[in-house]
Structure formats: C-alpha cells, structure tokens
Amino acid sequence: MLMARSLVSVHVPEMPRGSQRLDIASALNQHPRYARSIPGHRSGVVVRYWVMMTGRLRHYRDERGFTQVALAVKADLDETTVRRLESGKLRRCEDASLMRLARELKCDKKDLAYPERDLKAGRGDPAYQAARDRGMQPLTPIDLRAPEEALTGPAMRMVQREVRLGFDKPTIELDGEVHKVLGFAAMHDCELHYEQLEELFVVTGTIRELRPIPVDVGELLGAELGRGAAYARIRRDISGLGEHGEDQPLQTTVFAPSGADGDRLNHCFRQGIPVKVKVTIVVRHTDDPRRGFPRLAEPGVWPWAFVVLAIY
C-alpha cells in the first residue's frame, strides 16, 4: 500500500535572475525539515536569533562611513532598532536582520554577533572568555568589554603624548603627603598592574555623573546602600595634551561606599565644585561570583575599581 507523503511548502520571494540558487538555499535553511540537507549547516540547527557583541556594530558602521540613519535605510531596519542594537540596549537580533546588516557592512554575521544558543550554553561569548582570561569566574556570560585597548586607540596615543610632553608624572600634596595625580599613563599602569599596585592616587576634576552604587557592587564593597553610597564619573581636562594643543578630557569612575562620602560627592556634583579625591585600588576576588565593577560612560565591567578614601 502506498503511503501518502506530506508536502512541505517553502515560500521563496521573487528575486533577480542569478541569485535564485543562493536565496532558495537560504529559504530552505530556515525550514527545520530541510536544514539538515544544506551543505555546511551544522547538525541541522537553525540559528534564528543572535546576540550582539558590544562595540562591533559601531566599529563596522564607522569603518564603512555610514550614519545610523543611512545604515538603517540600507538594511531595511528602523533607525531606533539600529541605535538600540549599537548601544547595547537591544542585544537580541533576528537572523534576517543581522544578515542584512552584515551585507551592508561587508562583514560576516559572526563579526557582529554570536548565536543565542551559545549564550545559553555558556560558551561563544568573547566577553565571557575575556573575563575567564583575566582570572574572573563568571557563572554565566556577561556583558564585559575586555579592558585591553588597541595600541592605535585614542587612549594609547594620549599615554604616549603624556610621556613625550612630560605630563605623565604630576603629583599633589594632601595632608602633608605627596600623591600621584591620575592621568592616562597612570591609568594604563593600573590596567596592567592592578593586582600589584599599592600606592594611592588622586583623581581631580569636576563630577559629570553620579549614581547609586549597584546592589551587587555594594555587597562587594560593604557599601551603605540607600544611605548615600554612590559612584561618580569625574572629568579632568588635561591642558595642552590634545593633538592640536587643546585640552584633553580624562574620565574616571570612583566608588564611594561610605554614605558620608557619597553625600559629599553629590553636593559637589550639584554645585559644580571641582574635587580632589584620594583613592585606592580594590580588586574583586576571582572566586567571587558577582560580576565586578561597572564604569560610567563605558560599557562592561572590570575586576578592579578606584574606591574613595578622602575628598578634598
């Protein structure tokens, strides 16, 4: 007796002649019955959703010279979607949308994102691997931008300029003691040797942003949460350090676990009063499952932070 075979309908949109073979394969690839037969498709698993990697979309957009609006038009996406994907507010992206973005940016989908199933399995996230490489033990993949910066990046150029111009060793006397004022070169030293450095630094400038310390960070620091504990972004404009002799801003995040110190930072923030903040480095223990320390105006978390000792 003949058994009736069920027919599977696969919709293939109209397309220019010459592109049919590629697009038919793509359409079949989206159907679970045929996915297993597509050459190069791993185990017949269809990737329907991807997780965007921090900074990648903006990197390739800048490289191609597109504005967010232009990229949205070319990729047939809403401008708000592109903006949210780029900022990290929206991390989940459909395969079809990612394919169009990659096509317009002349890159591979894997240059922009990784399969959502890898996130659920705890693998594949470069940020997760970066955390492990730096001695952290995250329980799940986290949104962590690796602190290493390319030697051609702006911060690295500022380190070199500080050294050439002799701006890399400024000091200040507070309470009869001389301390190093934080600059680009000193920050670079902290990034490289935060486990070893025991010296104190002074962060100077004006407070541009101030927020309550997140709960998990507060637990790490024993902060007086809900009683004034805060973290702040302090901007120091370094005179004459810019490429054309202009001031160059350095942004530093400091944590004030003491409610009294947080209140004082808040007062200076509201009144626009410049501050001098003596800080020490606190490192997150590698066996602590909590995520680490965020920085204001920078995506990701770090395994160490500047913690306030005194405010002047």
Tens digits of per-residue pLDDT, 240-260? 887 777 888 999 999 999 999
pLDDT above 70 coverage of the chain, percent? 71
Residue 137 pLDDT: 53
Residue 164 pLDDT: 82
Residue 22 pLDDT: 42
Residue type, 215: V
- Whole-angstrom distance, CA of residue 29 vs CA of residue 44: 8
- Asked if pLDDT for residue 15 goes beyond 70, the answer is no
The answer to whether the CB of 125 falls within 8 A of the CB of 280 is no
Residue 276 pLDDT: 96
Instruction: Please give the C-alpha separations between residue 156 and each of 11, 151, 187, 252, 274, in angstroms, as whole numbers.
Output: 52, 6, 11, 16, 26
Q: What are phi and psi of 213, to 5 degrees?
A: -70, 130
Report residue 236 as tokens: 């120091």
- Asked if pLDDT for residue 77 goes beyond 60, the answer is yes
The answer to whether the CB of 14 falls within 8 A of the CB of 23 is no
Q: Which tops the pLDDT comparison, 20 or 289?
A: 289
Residue 271 pLDDT: 95
- Asked if pLDDT for residue 28 goes beyond 60, the answer is no
CB atoms within 10 A of CB 93: 22
- Whole-angstrom distance, CA of residue 249 vs CA of residue 223: 29
Q: Is 46 left (phi over 0), alpha (psi -120 to 50) or beta?
A: beta
Q: Which tops the pLDDT comparison, 20 or 222?
A: 222
- Whole-angstrom distance, CA of residue 306 vs CA of residue 201: 9
Asked which of 7-11, 55-59, 199-203 is least confident by mean pLDDT, the reply is 7-11
pLDDT 10s digits, 99-158 = 999 999 999 888 888 777 665 544 444 554 554 555 555 444 434 333 333 344 567 888
Residue 269 pLDDT: 95
Over residues 60-79, the mean pLDDT reads: 90
The full set of domains in the chain, from first to last, is 21-124 (1.10.260.40), 154-311 (2.40.50.140)
The answer to whether the CB of 233 falls within 8 A of the CB of 209 is yes
- Asked if pLDDT for residue 19 goes beyond 80, the answer is no
User: Using 50, 70 and 90 to split pLDDT, how confident is the model at 305?
Assistant: very high
- Asked if pLDDT for residue 263 goes beyond 90, the answer is yes
- Asked if pLDDT for residue 18 goes beyond 60, the answer is no
pLDDT 10s digits, 145-192 = 333 333 445 678 888 888 888 888 889 999 899 999 999 999 999 999
